[in-house]
Amino acid sequence: MSAVPQRAEQSAPAASHAATPYYRFQPFNIGRWIIWTLFAVVLLVAPLIFTSSLSQTMLTQMGVAIIVCLSYNMLLGQGGMLSFGHAVYSGLGAFLAIHTLNLVSKNHLPLPVSLIPLVGGVSAMGFALLFGWVTTKKAATPFAMITLGIGELVWAMSLMFPEFFGGEGGISGNRVTGPKPFGITFGPQIQLYYLIAVYTFVCTALMYAFTRTPLGRMLNAVRDNPERVEFVGYDTQKVRYISFVIAAFFAGIAGGLAALNFEIVTSEVVSGYRSGAYLLFTFLGGATFFFGPIIGGILMVLAFVLLSELTKAWLLYLGLVFLFMVMYAPGGIASLIMMNLRVASFGRLKELWVSYLALAVTAFITLIGAAAMIEMVYHLKLNAALGPELRFMGATLNAQGASSWFGAAFVMVTGIGLFEVARRHFARQWGEIQEFIEKEMKRREAL
Amino acid sequence: MEFFTISLLNGVSYGLLLFMLSSGLTLIFSMMGVLNFAHASFYMLGAYFAFAVTQLVGYWPALFVAPLIVGALGALFERYCLRRVHKFGHVPELLITFGLSFIVLEVVQLIWGTSSVDYRVPAALEGPLFTIYGTQFPAYRAFMMLVALLMLVSIWLLLTRTRIGLVIQAALTHPETVEALGHNVPRVFMLVFGGGAALAGLAGVIGGNAFVTEPGMAAAVGPVIFVVVVCGGMGSLSGAFIASLAIGIIQTFAVGTDSSLLGAAGTIGFDITPQTFGYALWKLKISQVAPILPFLFLVLMLIFRPKGLLGTREG
C-alpha cells in the first residue's frame, strides 16, 4: 500500500520512453490544472471566509507549516531519509532571516521585507551544505541517529552563543520596515498572510516539480533500492546530499516566513521537539503521497493552537494517535483518502458508508470513555486545588468518586466491544471489495 | 592529580552507566535492525519504578523488581506493537518507538508530575567510600560501577556460554537459518527486546538516584547513547563499551575544566580582546562546551572513520 502508486508511475514513463524514443504524446493534463487552480483559490479565499483574527493567525501558520512539512517529506517520503534534525534548517533559516530583518531596520541593507524568507532559505542551504555532507554519508537508521546528533549539537550551541541566538529571550524584530511598494507594509496580518500564501503556492509548485525531475526520480530509486542505483552508476550519497540541500532550502524559507510572522525567534525553533513535531505531522498527513504533508501541516497548526487549548492531555492524545497510525495505517491520512478514492472509482464506496458510520460512532464512544478517564487523571494531578469536580463534554464528573470512574470505564469498554464488532464486519466487507477491485483490474487489463 | 583521579573515577562510573544503556540498544539494534528510540524512556521508567517500589518496600527489592517490570513492558511492547509494524520496514519501526517515547514521557509526567521526585541513595550506601587527596569518593558511585561490571560479565557469559546466548548470536546474523533449525526467532526477538529494556531499567534504578529523577532525564541521555552506539560501530558490543567509557571520561573531564581558548591564546602571547573576530568563540570555557562534545565526537568519527571504532559494516 505504501509506495506502490509512485513506483507504478515511475515505471510507466520509462517503458513508453523506451518504446518511442523520439516522440512522446503528452496530453494537456486537465486534472492537474484543476487541482492547482483549486489550491490557489483556496489559498486566496480562505482568509475571506475565516475572518476572525485567530483564524487568520492560524492560516498564516498553516502556510508555513505546509512548506516545512513538504520539505521534510522530500527527505522522508521521497528519499526514505528519516531526519530527526529538520528543525535545524528551518530554525537557522529563521535566525538568519530575523538578523537580516534587523539589518534592514537599521538601514544597513536595502532589501525588501518580502524577500527576507529567501535569505532564510539560502542560509539554511548553506548550513545544509556543511552538515549534510556529514549526515548524508549514511542512509536509513544511522542517518536518523546522525541527524539527531547534529540537531542536539546545534541546539546545545544555541545556548552557548547568546550573541547570535539571543539566549533565553530570543531575537526580536519589526517587519514593518524598508521600502513600501503599493503601500504594502506587512503590518496587518492579512498582508502577511498573502505574502505567505504566495510563498506557499510557489514552494509547493516547485517541490512538486522537483518530484518530476530526473533528480527527484533518482531520489525515489535511492530510497527503494540503493544497491541497484550504485550498480547503474549513480552515487547514492550525492543524490541524497543534493536533495538534502534542496529540502533545507525550502525549510529555511519556511523558517524565514515564521520569523516574519512572529517577529521573534527563540532558540526553541532549533530544538529536537520541533524536529519531532515535523516528523510526527508529516507522517500523520501521509509521507507516501505528495499532498500528504499539506494535510499534516494543517493538522500541526490545529493541534498546536486548538487542541492544546482544549485539553492539557493533548500530547498524550497525539502520541496515541501517532502510535495507532503507525500500526494500522503507515501511509497516513493521505493513504486512507487514496484507498477510499480507489474504492469510489470502482463504484463501491456507497455500500461502505453504514460501516463507516458504525465505526465512527463506536470509536467516538470509546474515545469519550477513555478521554473522560484521562481528563480525570490530569485533573487530579494538575487542578487538585480546584476540588474534585470537573466539566467534561457537558457532564460534571467527580474525579474522586467511584461512580464517575466506573461510568467512564463502562462507556469505554462498551465502546471497545461495539467497535470490535463493527471493525470485523468492516474488515470482511473491505476485503471483499478489494478482491473485487483486483479481479476487475485484471479483467480490464485482459480487454 | 586530585582532579585527575576523581574525574577519572567519576568518568568511568558515568561511562559504565552509559554502557548499560547502550549495550541494550546495541543488542536490539544488531538483532532486529531496530533503533529503539524509546530506549532512554525505559531508562527513565526504571528510575521512576524504582522510586515507587522504594517507597513501598525499600531499595534492595526495587533493584530487582523495577528492571523486571520495565523488561516485561518492553517485551509486551515488542509483542503487540513492534512486531505488527515489522512488515512495513525499518522506518515505521523507528517511528513507533519514537511514538512510544512521547507517550512514556506524558504518562510519567501524568503520574509523577513535571518536577523531579525525591529518589535517594539508600542509607547503607550514603557517604564516602574513601578519601583521596582530600576529596571524598562517594560509595554509591563505586556501587554503580560494581553493578555495571557485574552486568557486563553476566551478559558476556550469557551470550557466549549458554544455549540461549548461542541462539541469540546466531539469530543476529542468520535469522532464517536459526528459524529453520526449529528455534522460535520471534520469541527470541521478544526476549532480547525485553532484556534490553530491562538493562535500561536497571541503569535507571542505579542512575536515577545518583543523578536526578525527572521527566527530562530521558531526553538528556537519549542522544548521548545514540552517539555511543554510532561511535562504537553499529551493532558492536565491545565498540559500545569503549565508546561509552571514552565519552563518559571526556565529558566528565570537560565539565570540570575551566580554561578556554582565550586563556590558551594568552599563554602563547596572543592578545584577544572583545573586539577580536569571533570573540564569542574564544571566550567559551571548556566546561561550557561539555554538552556538545559527544556530538562533536560523533561528527569527527563520521568524517574520519565512518564505520565506528570497532564496527564492521558501513551502514
pLDDT at B167: 86
pLDDT at A46 over 60: yes
Please report, for residues A8, A434, A441, A442, A444, the alpha-carbon distance to residue A447 in angstroms, rounded to integers and kept in the order given.
20, 20, 10, 9, 5
User: B81 to chain A: which residues are within 8 Å by CB?
Assistant: 323, 327
User: A318 to chain B: which residues are within 8 Å by CB?
Assistant: 102
Instruction: Tell me the three cell numbers of residue A45.
Output: 479565499
User: A139 to chain B: which residues are within 8 Å by CB?
Assistant: 315
pLDDT tens digit string along A187-220? 788 888 999 999 999 999 999 999 989 999 999 9
Cross-chain residue pair A327–B100, CB shorter than 8 Å: no
Is the separation of the CB atoms in A178 and A111 below 8 Å?
yes
Please report, for residues B136, B149, B206, the alpha-carbon distance to residue B130 in angstroms, rounded to integers and kept in the order given.
6, 20, 20
Higher pLDDT, A383 or B96: B96
Cross-chain residue pair A283–B95, CB shorter than 8 Å: yes
pLDDT at A15: 45
Is the separation of the CB atoms in B233 and B310 below 8 Å?
yes
pLDDT at A9 over 60: no
Average pLDDT over residues A106-126: 87
The answer on A313 and A194 residing in a single domain is: yes
Residues A402, B210: Cα–Cα separation, whole Å: 39
User: A149 to chain B: which residues are within 8 Å by CB?
Assistant: 223, 226-227, 230, 294-295, 298-299
Taking residue A361's Cβ as centre, other Cβ atoms within 10 Å add up to: 14
pLDDT tens digit string along A18-29? 444 555 666 677
| Helical spans, DSSP H, in A161-263 | 162-165, 189-212, 214-224, 226-232, 236-262
Cross-chain residue pair A283–B106, CB shorter than 8 Å: no
User: B38 to chain A: which residues are within 8 Å by CB?
Assistant: none
Q: What is the pTM (predicted TM-score) of this model? A: 0.84
The answer on A111 and A222 residing in a single domain is: yes
pLDDT at A171: 86
Residue that the C-alpha cell 536533495 belongs to? A243
- What residues of chain B, 206 to 265, have a C-beta less than 8 Å from chain A? 219, 223, 226-227, 229-230, 234
Provide the shortest C-alpha distance from residue A170 to chain B (in Å): 17
CB distance from B113 to chain A under 8 Å?
yes
The answer on A405 and A307 residing in a single domain is: no
Provide the shortest C-alpha distance from residue B286 to chain A (in Å): 11
pLDDT tens digit string along A56-100? 888 999 999 999 999 999 999 898 888 888 999 999 999 999 999
Chain A residue nearest residue B286, CA to CA: A160
Average pLDDT over residues B292-308: 81
Nearest to A319 among B81, B103, B306 (CB): B103
Cross-chain residue pair A313–B106, CB shorter than 8 Å: yes
Average pLDDT over residues B151-160: 86
A329 lies in some domain? no
A177 lies in some domain? yes
CB distance from A202 to chain B under 8 Å?
no
pLDDT at A223 over 80: yes
pLDDT at A5 over 60: no
Provide the shortest C-alpha distance from residue A48 to chain B (in Å): 37
CB distance from A272 to chain B under 8 Å?
yes
The answer on A377 and A291 residing in a single domain is: no
CB distance from B300 to chain A under 8 Å?
no
What is the pLDDT of chain A when averaged over all its residues?
84
Cross-chain residue pair B280–A161, CB shorter than 8 Å: yes
When pLDDT is cut at 50, 70 and 90, the band that residue A254 belongs to is: very high
The answer on A372 and A425 residing in a single domain is: yes
CB distance from A141 to chain B under 8 Å?
yes
Chain B residue nearest residue A374, CA to CA: B110
Average pLDDT over residues B6-14: 85
Provide the shortest C-alpha distance from residue B178 to chain A (in Å): 25
User: A76 to chain B: which residues are within 8 Å by CB?
Assistant: 91
Residues B248, B21: Cα–Cα separation, whole Å: 12
pLDDT at A140 over 70: yes
The answer on A292 and A380 residing in a single domain is: no
CB contact set of A228 (below 8 Å; sequence gap of 6+)? A221
Higher pLDDT, B25 or A10: B25
pLDDT at B130 over 50: yes
Provide the shortest C-alpha distance from residue A234 to chain B (in Å): 18
User: A157 to chain B: which residues are within 8 Å by CB?
Assistant: 292
User: A140 to chain B: which residues are within 8 Å by CB?
Assistant: 90-91, 315
pLDDT at B313: 57
Question: Which of A270-274, B142-146, B223-227, B309-313 has the lowest average pLDDT?
Answer: B309-313
Instruction: Report the share of chain A in percent with pLDDT over 70.
Output: 91
Cross-chain residue pair B81–A283, CB shorter than 8 Å: no
Nearest to A381 among B88, B90, B113 (CB): B113
pLDDT at B276: 63
Q: Return the CATH number at A171.
A: 1.10.3470
Chain A residue nearest residue B81, CA to CA: A327
Cross-chain residue pair A138–B315, CB shorter than 8 Å: yes
pLDDT tens digit string along A333-371? 888 888 888 888 887 777 788 888 888 888 888 888 888
The answer on A287 and A359 residing in a single domain is: no
The answer on A314 and A350 residing in a single domain is: no
Question: Which of A192-201, A380-389, B225-234, B285-294 has the lowest average pLDDT?
Answer: A380-389
End-to-end distance of chain A based on CA atoms, in angstroms? 25
Residue that the C-alpha cell 506587512 belongs to? A186
Give the total number of structural domains in chain A.
Answer: 2
User: A152 to chain B: which residues are within 8 Å by CB?
Assistant: 223, 292, 295
How many secondary structure helices (H) and strands (E) does chain A include? Answer: 18, 4
Residue that the C-alpha cell 515505521 belongs to? B92
A325 lies in some domain? no
User: A134 to chain B: which residues are within 8 Å by CB?
Assistant: 299, 302-303
Mutation choice for B interface testing from A133, A145, A325 by most B CBs within 10 A? A145
Residue that the C-alpha cell 511598494 belongs to? A181
Range of the domain at A373: 346-446
Cross-chain residue pair A326–B85, CB shorter than 8 Å: yes
Please report, for residues A44, A336, A347, A420, the alpha-carbon distance to residue A433 in angstroms, rounded to integers and kept in the order given.
39, 15, 10, 20
- Kindly report the backbone phi and psi dihedral angles of residue A161, in degrees, each rounded to the nearest multiple of 5, phi listed first: -115, 75
Average pLDDT over residues B239-259: 85
Provide the shortest C-alpha distance from residue A77 to chain B (in Å): 10
What is the pLDDT of chain B when averaged over all its residues?
83
Chain A residue nearest residue B281, CA to CA: A161
CB distance from A191 to chain B under 8 Å?
no
Classify A389 as helix, strand or coil.
strand
Chain B residue nearest residue A2, CA to CA: B88
Task: Determine how β-strand B135-138 pairs with β-strand A264-265.
Answer: unpaired
